[in-house]
Amino acid sequence: MRITVLCSLLIVPALFAEEAVTSAPSVIESVTLRGTQLKVDFATQVGHPYDAATIQQDLHRLWNTGRFDDIRVERQGAAIVFHVVENPRLRLHKLVIEPSPTGLQFALAEGTPIDAVRVNAVVMEARKQLIAQGHVEPRVDYKVVPIDGDRVDLRLTVDPGKRVRVQEVQFAGDISLAPRELNGALNAIHIRHIFRWRLLPAFNQEAVESDLARLRSLYMSKGYFEADVRLESAEIQADGAHIRIFVQPGPRYQVREFTIDGTPAGSVCACLLAARREAQLQGILDFSATLRVVPADTAVDLIATTERGRPYHIGRIDFTGHHHYADATLRRNFLLDEGQVLDEQQLRKSIDRLNRSNLFEPITEKNFAIQTNEATGIANVIVRLIERKRGAWNLSGPVGPASFAGPLQASISSRLPPWGAGLFELSTYTASVSMFAFAHPILPLLAIGNKHPLLPVLVLARPFLPAYGWKSGFSFAPQLGWRASALSYAIVQTQQRLLPALSGDRAIVSTLTVTVQRDRGESVMFCEQPKPRLATVRNVASLAIRFAGSFASF
């Protein structure tokens, strides 16, 4: 399976150059591709003058498809013939990562086509994720292992190397703002404190540059439009990375006037986010904003201009990778339908609803794509899914005294096989066998007897699915009685309906990156959805609801 593409590209053109003698035809009469049904648009065209450089360009294009194990070009008089040998059509059986606890995540479902290009992309993504975790110079080797027929295992052998964490972040210069506020603006290199513990983030250059941009954005949002924020030093010592950031804020300006596309407006970020939302409601995907800073003595005028692409309607919504779930189940989670205006925020909410169903591995922006046709204004949405493992085991203990929060519990669960539809779609149900140690009640409200030291429990449950609402989130456990099932259902429904309302849309609304034009040169400012009102109260309420939800975990 190892194909050294670079060496092939060097060898093949060299061999062809030997054939390109001075008697080469001046005009090409035919161009043929043999050995594949793949349609390729060659730069080498009939009726065009013979050009070895153009043929070499076509060779590169063929290699870059990743579909061919061998390519040979032949000149037959005035005819050019490309001979290719296709790679074997291989499909993924399983991705194996050794050692396993590396934290690497890939959106590779069983049955994914495997070729040299795909393997190289997986290796590069593995290195990228390891570097993001703070590993210095990680090594990733691979091996393709045949299983049966056209199925193969892709085995990655990972040597992560030394891992570096951020040990200290210092600010130098006339920072003007409080250090606590600066630390709060950091994200990737922010050191968090929980009681006496320090949570140290991974160190990598990309994380540092990202947070430098966030600091510049913070200063501009405070009126320091000429702020100079740069990395002064990043020393990697035995205990970790020590980062020193230099800040020269410059003068602080008052905003005299702010306009968007010539119309007076209020808060910069609030108005720009509102303008983008208005564009999204029209089906516009491409929205960008530029903010020009015009000094006027001790004040500035801010002139914002926006650019909007064309609106789109949804052509098709396609799901891949759902082998055990009905297509209708997935579509019920979507707040959009084919033929409607493509509202990007509603699309993100739909993906969030799919994630809340816990039927699949987390769906990120890498797992869905929007294919647009600018000529027709139609956009197709493709969502790539990876089903979670059907079986699982769990071992849990009580939170506090066993008489209050339940006994020690061990369970083995599995999703049921695909069958039926709607309420009777068995693949949305799980069956589990649990063993409760100690005979104390799960809650004082539940009168489960204490006659036996061990209590086996068989549970048939349908986890909460946003698409089905009240028709999900229930469980049947005859050994625990109807009160346990009723309380569990009430807790699950309350938890799953209140938590999204308490958290709001902040996690769903993407950050708007605004280009800022100033005398010091261009910079960027990030406009984020503001925290909801009474954020602290909401967080406390969310924790209380999650704690109550732990009682419904049988």
Instruction: Write the pLDDT tens digit of every residue in 207-247.
Output: 999 999 999 999 999 999 999 999 999 999 988 999 999 99
| Helix pair angle (482-503, 535-549), 10° resolution | 160
User: What mean pLDDT do residues 337-342 have?
Assistant: 93
pLDDT value of position 550: 62
- Among residues 130, 159, 188, the one where a domain terminates is 159
Residue 210 lies in a domain: yes
User: What mean pLDDT do residues 13-22 have?
Assistant: 46
Number of residues assigned to the chain: 554
Statement to judge: residues 418 and 288 lie in one domain: no
Statement to judge: residues 354 and 395 lie in one domain: no
CATH number reported for the structural domain that contains residue 198 in this entry: 3.10.20.310
Pair 465, 472: CB distance under 8 Å: yes
- Among residues 263, 287, 308, the one where a domain terminates is 308
Statement to judge: residues 486 and 400 lie in one domain: yes
Residue 39 lies in a domain: yes
Quote the mean pLDDT of the chain. 83
Q: DSSP per residue over 428-456, as a string?
A: G-EEEEEEEES---SSTTS----S-SEEE
Model confidence at 50: pLDDT above 60? yes
Statement to judge: residues 170 and 145 lie in one domain: no
Residue 339 lies in a domain: yes
Q: How many domains does the chain have?
A: 6
Confidence of residue 9 (pLDDT cuts 50, 70, 90): very low
Statement to judge: residues 425 and 548 lie in one domain: yes
Statement to judge: residues 221 and 288 lie in one domain: no
Model confidence at 404: pLDDT above 60? no
Statement to judge: residues 241 and 183 lie in one domain: yes
Statement to judge: residues 114 and 126 lie in one domain: yes
- Among residues 67, 86, 105, the one where a domain terminates is 86
Q: Are strands 139-148 and 113-114 parallel, antiparallel or unpaired?
A: unpaired
Q: Which SS3 state, helix, strand or coil, does residue 324 take?
A: coil
Contacts of 25 (CB under 8 A, 6+ apart): 50, 75, 77, 78
553 or 43, higher pLDDT: 43
Confidence of residue 453 (pLDDT cuts 50, 70, 90): low
Statement to judge: residues 187 and 43 lie in one domain: no
* Interval 314-324: pLDDT, tens: 999 999 888 88
pLDDT value of position 306: 96
Statement to judge: residues 330 and 437 lie in one domain: no
Statement to judge: residues 303 and 339 lie in one domain: no
Residue 409 belongs to what domain range? Answer: 391-504+543-552
